[in-house]
Chain A
Amino acid sequence: MNAENKLPKQVFRSVGTRPVRPDGVDKVTGRARYGADYDMPGQLVGRILRSPHPHATIKKIDITKAEQLPGVKAVITSKDLPDLTNGDEDLLAILENCMARKKAYYDGHAVAAVAAVDANTAKAALKLIEVEYKIHKHVTDVDKAADPKAPVLRKDCITEGVSPAPTKASNIAAQSEFGHGDVAKGFKQADHIVERNFRTEQTHQGYIEPHACVASVSPDGTGEMWVCTQGHFVFRQQCAQLLGLDMAKLRVTSSEIGGGFGGKTHLWLEPVAMALSRKANLPVKLVMTREDVFRASGPTSATSIDVKIGIKNDGTITAGEATLRYASGPWKGSWAALGAMTAFACYDLKNVKTTGIEVLVNRPKTTAYRAPSAPMAAFAVESVIDELADKIDMDAVQVRIKNAAGEGTQSSYGPVYGPIGIGPTLEAAASHPHMSAPLKENQGRGMACGFWFNFGGQSCTHINIDIDGSVTLTVGTIDVGGARASLSLVVAEEFGIDYEQVKTVIGDTSTLGYNEMTDGSRGTFASSMSAIASVRKAIDEMISRAAIMWDIPAEDIEWRDGHAHATGKGHANLAPLSIADIAARAGKTGGPIAGHTELNADGAGVSFATHICDVEVDPETGLTRVIRYTVIQDAGKAVHPTYVEGQFQGGATQGIGWALNEEYVYGEDGRLQNPGFLDYRIPVCSDLPMIDTQILEIPNPNHPYGIRGVGETSIVPPLAAIGNAVSNAFGVRMTHVPMSPPRILDALEKAETETA
């Protein structure tokens, strides 16, 4: 980032207002079409057979009886999805996960699928598929899997990133290191050192809409798919590769999406639907049940993290070190690396070292969950920082302010920061009324900070000017929470027209060039950057059309407030031309008017937040409630502040659920015990208080309007903020998330025994 790029203070007309979203009415009237709400003519019902074993070799699958059942149109196994990945390891992992090949690696792993004329027939057919398994020992715990004595999932798994390379296979797929300085030296300078192990359990994004798609593949090699996804271009590319289709011949439309949070960045069942459709030569609708979603989509990693931090009596952190073990499911991920990169990112440290260790386990394939990997690392680091603050008798916020990263700081993961928001969010927290509000008996207050990178990436947008002067923006990123409203505001701003004149739509894969996955909080940042460029091109075109209409040089025309204005002497009699005026004559001045942009959106500004949380604990039962919560986050320029607040509130709430009750529970048999919303306890309305928000706007110098991503960071601090609040209420350090009632009660009992 270049500090010289600092933006002048801009005055906005549309950006920063709070209009109703363009897709709103459809969503309150039941008209919006999500993944499962679309039908194709003649469509069949698909169903997937899943392994009940966490680790087993598939010796034989007999599909004969299922195929013979009347009404069954196709039965497939991995044989119907031959390996076309051509050495692409990541693509092979997707293929193996969508349909087990030699081995089933987790409870719920797909082993076969059917397409039939109705649901009952499909269900009956699944029962007729005979699978012969050879069962192996399994391991689901991250620390146990990392142990050299653990059952090894893959005989060819040699740890990457270690030199010299190990000679023996293990469940440790990769290791990565980050940092600078000399931590040993740093710890010598410390007056106090705290070293602890923290554990966090596996959680799920918990989007309310299960994965769903309708796929149609024709014998002529063309296909189409309707699917709920965070990235239909990526889905098209990977599905085409896996099915051996030309990418151009597969058209993918993203439906309205009922939540994703990272979980819909990955293929889970779409190639299966396509293979079924290809075999049956009819469209196939495939929808996951909620149980399927929990067992066989992509939750986040369970982790075990060792943290060691040293501090001087004056509050200076002298060194920070962490070893982070993240479970990635049966395939290698880079989740521990992300944890290792984010762990100390809030602070300006002379000596810092982090090691990320990717661990294979017999659980579903890990995928992204909102600021993936950062919340667990922050839980560990932010807990220890609070403990150190306590040791040196310094206020928790002040310790953080003293060590906060700023412009010019070399981050713990490498790059040097530009203008960033960690300091300002901490200052805002220090002076926030929440910080000084009184607490009652059994209540405690905690705070914590969080960081997320934010991404940019490949983006492509299109602006169409219609003859009535209304404007369509077509984007290739998807809208999970008001993005169409934000992007319409940006377009209105850039044209100088009203928000109501703009309609933003999500294009399918044949209408635009490639767009990356809508992840890393990039949707509004990247698509707005591309949209602004598209608008500018359309404006240039309109100026040249106005020049024709007026028969004056284009240099004498200026674009202002949604109109072409003729400037200079001799043009005083020319009334400004609106978009409608210019568009109405487009047929006679050169044809339709549009603006098109493709770009790599570089320079996504990093994001920081500070959260404050009050809890009340029932000391007899361990029951813990969040009774007050405040989110303070740097949003860059907030395009639609209401939806920015919504992101803050939603992220914080997911963090609260993670902190208190959400966890995957596996039995001794390696089977998931709680694949449903009854026992996987996401917060309900009555569990929560209002979530207060404070938006700080530190402009991102790399975006024309100063926009940063805002969607993810707010899930990072809650685990630690709640842990610190419990600690401050009862003097116990919580080291295991979720801090469920039994764990809190155990900690309280232990503390009581120790003092007694």
Chain B
Amino acid sequence: MSMVVNSTINGDPIEFSCEPDETLMDALRNRVGLKGVKEGCGTGDCGACSIRLDGALVCSCLVLGAEAEGRKVDTVEGMSDGAQLHVLQTKFLEHAALQCGVCTPGFLIAAQALLEKNPTPSEEEIRYGLAGNLCRCTGYDKIVRAVQDAAKTMNKRSKSKKTTGRKK
């Protein structure tokens, strides 16, 4: 029997119904229409379906839709600020950090979680931080560079924000 689930998805209150054994990945894609959540494996091995659940980075294929009741869900669709792309999105484009692009939403979400936890990661920390996301096209080189560049830009911005703050 279907269940009714109430969640906050990308900042908005959303009600959806799903089967009790349906994954959150399937519910987001097929019930809510967020197709930026990609299925690469369905077993938590590729990271293409990465989302944030109450802020925690998770594979939505390993979460039941029912578990999202009362929780906050964030997907790639909610990443940009209106028409303003997130720095990570811009840097992925500038560095050609995507080829086929199907892993990209998952990488962006994972990279965002990584930079929130560690705003100045080393190359090794980026590589381990993104190890849950498979990319078969790029060899990861340009992805790592895009994240490095995004971190630099974000730190510069938050620094200048702080400076302006002090002036006030």
A/B: CB atoms within 8 Å of each other: yes
CA A30 to CA B102, docked complex, whole Å: 9
Please determine whether A208 and B134 come into contact, CB atoms closer than 8 angstroms. yes
Taking the closest CB of chain B, its distance from the CB of A395, in whole angstroms, is 28
Q: A28-B89, A676-B45, A685-B131 are known contacts. Are A690 and B101 too (CB-CB below 8 A)?
A: no
Q: Does B24 sit within 8 A of A, measured CB to CB? A: no
Q: Does A206 contact B (CB under 8 A)?
A: yes
B136–A24 contact, CB under 8 A? no
In A207-245, the 8 Å CB interface with B consists of 207-210
How far apart are the CA atoms of A37 and B30 in the complex, in Å?
A: 9
Q: Cβ of A643 < 8 Å from any Cβ of B?
A: yes
A120 touching B19, Cβ below 8 Å: yes
Please tell me if the beta carbons of B96 and A29 are within 8 angstroms of each other in the complex.
Answer: no
Q: Are A646 and B99 in contact (CB under 8 A)?
A: yes
* Selected interface stretch from A75-83, A447-455, A647-655, A695-703: A647-655
Q: Using a CB-CB cutoff of 8 Å, which residues 29-45 of chain A contact chain B?
A: 29-34, 36-37
Chain B: interface residue count, which band?
35 or more
> Which range contains the number of A residues in contact with the other chain?
35 or more
Query: A652 CA to B139 CA in the complex, in Å?
Result: 7
Binary CB contact string for chain B from 60 to 84 against chain A (1 if under 8 A, 0 otherwise) = 0000000000000001110110000
Cα–Cα distance between A691 and B45 once the two chains are bound (Å): 24
Could you say which residues of chain B place their CB within 8 Å of the CB of A691?
139, 141
Q: Does A379 contact B (CB under 8 A)?
A: no
Would you call B93 and A20 a contact (CB within 8 A)?
A: yes
Within residues 38 to 58 of chain B, which ones have a CB less than 8 A from any CB in chain A? 38-43, 45-46, 48
Give complex CA distance A265, B88 in Å.
33
Q: Mark A110-152, 1 if CB is under 8 A from B, else 0.
A: 0000000001100000000000000000000000000000000
B137 and A682 contacting across the interface, CB-CB below 8 Å: no
Chain B residues closer than 8 Å to A20, beta-carbon distance? 93-94
Residue picked from A18, A25, A28, most chain B C-beta under 10 Å = A28
Interfacial chain B residues near A676, Cβ < 8 Å: 41, 43, 45
Expressed in whole angstroms, the minimum distance between the Cβ of A713 and any Cβ of chain B is 15
Report the separation of the CA atoms of residues A682 and B130 in the bound assembly, to the nearest whole angstrom: 14
Selecting from B103-111, B151-159, B160-168, the interface stretch reads B103-111
- The CB with the most chain A CB atoms within 10 A, among B89, B139, B142, is that of B139
Contact A209 B38 (CB under 8 A): yes
Tell me, yes or no, whether A165 is within 8 Å of chain B by CB: no
- Closest CB in chain B relative to A499 CB, distance in Å: 14
Q: Which among A259, A260, A645, A688 has the highest number of chain B CB atoms within 10 Å? A: A259
In contact, B75 and A30 (Cβ under 8 angstroms): yes
- Contact indicator A259/B100 (Cβ below 8 Å): yes
Residues in A with CB closer than 8 Å to B42 are 289-290
Q: Which of B94, B99, B134 contacts A677 (CB 8 A)?
A: B134
* B96–A650 touching, CB < 8 Å: no
**Residues B40 and A208 in contact, CB atoms below 8 Å apart:** yes
Q: Is A678 at the interface (CB under 8 A from chain B)? A: yes
User: Which residue from chain B places its CB closest to the CB of A481 in the assembled complex?
Assistant: B99
8 contacts between A and B (CB under 8 A): A28-B105, A119-B26, A290-B41, A290-B42, A481-B137, A645-B142, A650-B137, A686-B127
Taking A29-B76, A256-B100, A676-B45 as known contacts, 7 extra A-B pairs with beta carbons closer than 8 A to each other, sorted by chain A number, are A24-B98, A208-B100, A208-B135, A256-B101, A482-B99, A676-B41, A691-B141
Residues of B in contact with A (beta carbons under 8 Å apart)? 19, 21, 26, 29, 34-43, 45-46, 48, 75-77, 79-80, 85, 89, 92-96, 98-105, 108, 123-124, 126-128, 130-145
9 smallest CB-CB distances across A and B, nearest first, come from: A30-B36, A258-B102, A653-B139, A481-B99, A27-B101, A649-B139, A677-B45, A28-B89, A290-B41
